[in-house]
Amino acid sequence: RMSRHAQKLRDHDINPCVAETDATTKCMDDNDYKKDMCTAYFLKYKNCRKFWHSIMMQRRRNGVKPEMPSADERKKILESMG
């Protein structure tokens, strides 16, 4: 059974970067944990975190709740950006 923290990290409404996390983990598994083989995946994850963190901070400043958009809402935000 997963810990509450682990469950939150797997929750698409809480963690916008589940897919990037999974891709990075798979790359590391597939390449005997040689980080340099997975640089692109780490970068995608980092960019994902940075992007959604900035959205979250903007919403916090504007008093929007919840601060992290739901998975459906995030999909619409991304679609609106092209």
Q: What are the mean pLDDT values of the chain's consecutive 10-residue runs (82 residues total)?
A: 80 90 97 97 97 96 94 93 88
Residue 19: which of 34, 41, 52 has the closest Cα?
41
The answer to whether 15 and 21 have CB atoms below 8 angstroms apart is yes
The pTM (predicted TM-score) of the whole model is 0.84
CA distance 17 to 11: 10
Give CA–CA dist 10/59, Å, rounded. 22
R_g over Cα of the chain? 15
Q: pLDDT value at position 6? A: 81
* Contact call for residues 69 and 55 (beta carbons, < 8 A): yes
